[in-house]
């Protein structure tokens, strides 16, 4: 089938409503991963998008009126990126398997021929997903140049062989098991420490306030978009995903974690503790408590620490993968050609200065 025949539509998320077929397609993707759904994207658009950027859904329709969707962000300088940012741990095109490769080509050809577009960056993606290779092939086939992929971050995960807490804990090292037991006993001793798990039906305002208070006293940098996380918590509660853990000590909130449970997976999204209470190890104690709760009560089969190679994650997880991005340049744009030349020179210099034993992989 000639992919020139597919109709391509741009849906500006600031100005237009989203057609029912597109909503349904994104709802199906959301069941695979919360961050692929329309509600997640709209929360990004409303609460975590830089001024001047134009968020869109670029949609190609097949002959059966099924959509293939690229959520994108158009920048003022002509660059186009995934509708994603540092709050995002997974991005991918969304659409039907039949004719998907042709639909991707229609989308990318349309984008390359749009006046003013200079370059395209799509991240973070799972290189083990067939879409990763299909997207790179489609970029090359539709005239984009300098197509390459690059490292985004490490992602630690664990698949439960036994669906119970004892089985999971037994799979961890003796050091972790001993630390969990010792730290939890010390934390709860004399009733000074307490642990709680806030679920979707619980009151949220107090939990959000406690999380915000703890985060402000943690080691983490300030949130660049202060409304995104509170609104995510409310969205997650509406969707039934929310598992928000709180640790109190002497009656004060000192640690909090935001987990999202969807399907058979628990996603560990945000965590923080008050540094003044580091000696009580509230992060370790709360993580163990939440692991036990979601494994025992939610019958999960997978745990996902999302983005980052923090050392502590390997204590709890058993598998690591690398998330990667895809980038390419538009030779139809003068600024695109300039960006392509700059990339080519940089890559050449990197090649010339590499150690003799290093890999040539990007």
Extents of the domains making up the chain:
3-154+322-352, 161-300
In this predicted structure, the answer to whether residue 286 has a pLDDT above a threshold of 60 is yes
| Structure tokens given for 289 | 């408590």
In this predicted structure, the answer to whether residue 360 has a pLDDT above a threshold of 70 is no
Residue 10 CB coordination number (10 Å): 15
Least confidently predicted of 24-33, 210-219, 251-260, 349-358: 349-358
- What is the Cα Rg of the chain in Å? 23
C-alpha–C-alpha distance, residues 2 and 185, integer Å: 66
pLDDT of residue 93: 97
Q: For residue 318, what are the CA distances in angstroms to 20, 155, 261, 314?
A: 40, 11, 19, 6
- CATH architecture label of 3-154+322-352: 3-Layer(aba) Sandwich (3.40)
In this predicted structure, the answer to whether residue 327 has a pLDDT above a threshold of 50 is yes
| Residues 129-157: tens digit of each pLDDT | 999 999 999 999 999 999 999 999 999 99
Q: What's the average model confidence in pLDDT over 34-40?
A: 98
Nearest to 196, CA basis, from 158, 249, 137, 136: 249
pLDDT of residue 349: 75
Q: Chain-wide mean pLDDT for the chain?
A: 93
Q: What's the average model confidence in pLDDT over 29-44?
A: 97
Interhelix angle 282-297/174-188, rounded to 10 degrees, is 100
Q: Which CATH class is domain 161-300?
A: alpha beta
Confidence of residue 326 (pLDDT cuts 50, 70, 90): very high
Q: What's the average model confidence in pLDDT over 68-80?
A: 96
| Structure tokens given for 161 | 């062989």
pLDDT of residue 12: 97
**Identical fold between 3-154+322-352 and 161-300:** yes
């Amino acid at each position: 089938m000639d992919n020139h025949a597919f109709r391509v539509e741009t849906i500006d998320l600031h100005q237009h409503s989203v057609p029912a077929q597109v909503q349904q397609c994104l709802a199906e993707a959301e069941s695979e991963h919360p961050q692929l759904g329309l509600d997640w994207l709209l929360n990004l658009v409303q609460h975590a998008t830089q001024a001047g950027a134009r968020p869109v859904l670029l949609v190609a329709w097949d002959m059966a009126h099924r959509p293939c969707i690229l959520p994108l962000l158009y920048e003022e300088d002509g660059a186009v990126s995934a509708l994603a940012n540092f709050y995002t741990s997974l991005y991918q095109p969304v659409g039907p398997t039949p004719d998907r490769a042709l639909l991707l080509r229609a989308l990318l050809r349309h984008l390359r021929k749009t006046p003013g577009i200079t370059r395209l960056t799509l991240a973070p993606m799972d290189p083990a997903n067939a879409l990763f290779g299909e997207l790179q092939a489609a970029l090359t086939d539709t005239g984009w140049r300098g197509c390459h992929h690059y490292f985004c971050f490490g992602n630690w995960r664990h698949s439960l062989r036994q669906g119970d807490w004892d089985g999971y804990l037994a799979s961890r090292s003796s050091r972790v098991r001993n630390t969990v037991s010792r730290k939890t006993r010390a934390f709860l001793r004399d009733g000074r420490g307490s642990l709680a798990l806030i679920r979707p039906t619980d009151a949220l305002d107090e939990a959000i306030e406690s999380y915000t208070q703890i985060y402000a006293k943690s080691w983490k940098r300030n949130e660049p978009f202060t409304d995104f996380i509170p609104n995510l918590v409310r969205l997650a509660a509406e969707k039934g995903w929310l598992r928000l853990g709180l640790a109190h000590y002497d009656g004060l909130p000192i640690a909090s974690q935001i987990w999202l449970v969807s399907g058979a997976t628990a996603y560990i999204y945000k965590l923080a503790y008050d540094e003044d209470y580091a000696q009580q190890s509230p992060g370790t104690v709360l993580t163990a408590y939440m692991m036990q709760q979601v494994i025992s009560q939610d019958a999960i089969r997978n745990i996902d620490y999302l983005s980052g190679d923090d050392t502590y994650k390997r204590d709890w997880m058993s598998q690591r993968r690398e998330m990667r991005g895809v980038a390419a340049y538009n030779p139809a744009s003068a600024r695109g050609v300039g960006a392509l030349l700059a990339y080519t020179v940089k890559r050449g210099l990197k090649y010339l200065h590499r150690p003799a034993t290093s890999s040539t992989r990007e």
